[in-house]
Amino acid sequence: MIFRIAWRNIWRNKMRSLVIILSVAIGLFAGIAVLALYKGILNSRIHTVIYAETGHLQIHHKLFKQDNEPQFIIHQGEALLAALKKNSTVKLFTTRTITQGMLATSTGSAGVKINGIIPGKEDEVSGLANKIIAGKGFDPTKKNQVFIGNKLADKMKLKTGGKLVLTFTDVDANMISAAFRVAAIYQSDNAPLDERNVYVQQSELNQMLTIGNAFHEICIILQNDALTDIVRQQLQQQYPEQLIESWKDISPETDLMIDTVDTTSYIIIGIILFALAFGIVNTMLMAILERTQEIGVMMALGMNRIRLFLLVFLETVFLTLIGTPVGLAVAWVLTLYYQQHGLNWSSAGEEVMRSFGFSSMIYPEFPTEKIVAVICIVLFTALASCIYPAIKALQLQPVEALRK
């Protein structure tokens, strides 16, 4: 009977019940939306890191990363490449020659990381060709061409066809200066990297560095992301003389983001639900105060405090249980829509997003694995919110309640 009374009570004031149902639904929707958005941003960032910046794995000479000295080439590189070709977990790989240098134009200079790349392979591994926003890429008939990032081009007031000088040291510490022409200007989702990295043809850079066919970096794309740690361990065991790093080692800020994103999103959900709790407390309190005399009658007739508490509790449970699927459904539909069509945040600050290495196009993902936790948190909040109104109901004295 208490279930029946509770169920019917919630429909006595439809508008008030609707407010709680909507509050629960909006709270749940907001919670899921935050998680979906974070998951989308995170996955997008991880995708960018792996497929546009670092690859799944990178191999270097053990000392190369300490000083970025060009003499620290990968030993027996050709044999290593042959082994990678046979490795079924490896999908793609490319080699890079890398040196630190100075880029100078008539307007100024900037420190840069000069990447010697094999154009076709680099496009496959990091999608460099897709990032070009001006120019056509390397022309095989021309020498000394360079790709520079959009931000660097703006800073150095360079356009395609513009001339610049790259200065660096070779393996014997001889200073090398060479003039290059801007073949293309590229723009990735990571503005700081664009400002620092320039790309030239590997064969030309190798010649200037006098390292023959050697290289400093192998960038590997695996068959899938889940293989990263396993393959890294396997390769490290096979090639202990090389430094083998995963994208998590190379981009620790992304790894840190994965660790902290859950905490951050739960804090945001907590703030949303805190507001929800106030709404429920207020509405349930109104419902109790409105029914003071009725509660007095029930107590006079012999309804004990446990049953009275249960009545208030059940009313909140019913309202919450109606609000929960509504919130879930709305969140699911909207997430699914934006998962397919993307959420374009460029108008809200594309530059800001890029400066942190994020794409302005976000594809939220329904956080299936966290749904149970979110529902539990929302239910707990809703039910905890009814405790105060329930206590107020329990504190009523029948004789006083009957007088109201």
Partner 1 sequence: MKTVIDAHNISKTYNKENIPVYAVNNVHLHINQGEFTALVGPSGSGKTTLLNLIGGLDKPDEGKIEINGIDISAMSPNKLIDFRLLNIGFVFQSFNLIPVLTAKENVEFIMQLQGIPKAAREERINNLFKQIDLVDKMDSRPAQLSGGQQQRVAVARALASKPQFVLADEPTANLDTASASNLLDIMALLNKEENITFIFSTHDARVIERARRVITLVDGRIVSDTAKVAVHEE
Relative to beta strand 175-186, strand 109-117 is unpaired
> Using the rule CB under 8 A, is 404 a contact of partner 1?
no
Only segment of 2-10, 176-184, 190-198, 320-328 that touches partner 1 (CB under 8 A) = 2-10
Of 109, 260, 264, 304, the one binding partner 1 (CB under 8 A) is 304
DSSP 104: E
Closer residue to partner 1, CB minimum distance, 8 or 341: 8
Nearer to partner 1, 3 or 337 (CB): 3
Among 74, 298, 328, 378, binds partner 1 (CB under 8 A): 298
Q: Are 133 and 185 in contact (CB under 8 A)?
A: yes
Helices 387-394 and 305-341, axial angle in degrees (round to 10): 160
Count the site residues for partner 1 by CB under 8 A: 21
Nearest distance from residue 322's CB to partner 1, in Å?
17
Report whether 31 contacts 272 (CB < 8 A).
yes
d(CA 97, CA 162): 23
User: Alpha-carbon distance 165 to 154, whole Å?
Assistant: 16
Shortest Å, Cβ 300 to partner 1: 6
> Is residue 388 within 8 Å of 285, Cβ to Cβ?
yes
Name the minimum Å distance from CB 306 to partner 1: 9
Task: Assess 15 for contact with partner 1 (CB under 8 A).
Answer: no
Per DSSP bridges, beta strands 197-201 and 109-117 are parallel
CA 319 to chain centroid, in Å, comes to 34
Contact present, 390 and 313 (Cβ < 8 Å): yes
Pair of tokens at residue 211? 């390292």
Smallest separation, CB 23 to partner 1 (Å): 23
Least Å distance between CB 319 and partner 1? 15
* Chain centroid, CA 90 distance in Å: 24
- Residue 4 in the binding site for partner 1 (CB under 8 A): yes
The strand pair at 132-135 and 175-186 is best described as antiparallel
The C-alpha atoms of residue 183 and residue 160 are separated, in whole angstroms, by 6
Instruction: Tell me how many helices (H) and strands (E) the chain has.
Output: 17, 12
Residues 238-297 contacting partner 1, CB under 8 A: 293-294, 297
Residue ranges in 340-399 that form contacts with partner 1 under rule CB under 8 A: 398-399
Name the residue nearer to partner 1 (CB basis): 52 or 303: 303
How many CB atoms within 10 Å of residue 349? 11
Stretch in the footprint of partner 1 (CB under 8 A) among 5-13, 176-184, 246-254, 349-357: 5-13
Q: Minimum Å distance from CB 386 to partner 1?
A: 18
Asked whether position 12 contacts partner 1 by CB under 8 A, the answer is yes
Between the CA of residue 347 and those of 18, 40, 218, what are the distances in Å? 35, 18, 37
To the nearest whole angstrom, how small is the minimum distance from the Cβ of residue 316 to partner 1?
16
Q: Which is nearer to partner 1, 63 or 399 (CB)?
A: 399
Q: Which amino acid, one-letter code, is at 247?
A: W
One of 301, 340, 347, 369 touching partner 1 (CB under 8 A): 301
Q: Which of 79, 300, 333, 376 binds partner 1 (CB under 8 A)?
A: 300
Interaction with partner 1 in 119-148: which residues (CB under 8 A)? none
* Least Cβ distance, residue 382 to partner 1 (angstroms): 21
Which residue stretch of 54-62, 65-73, 98-106, 298-306 sits at the interface with partner 1 (rule: CB under 8 A)?
Answer: 298-306
- Go through 271-280 and write b for each residue having 16 or more CB atoms within 10 A of its CB, e for each that does not: ebbeebbebb
The residues of the shown chain that bind partner 1, judged by CB under 8 A, are 1, 4-5, 8-9, 12, 293-294, 297-305, 307, 398-399, 402
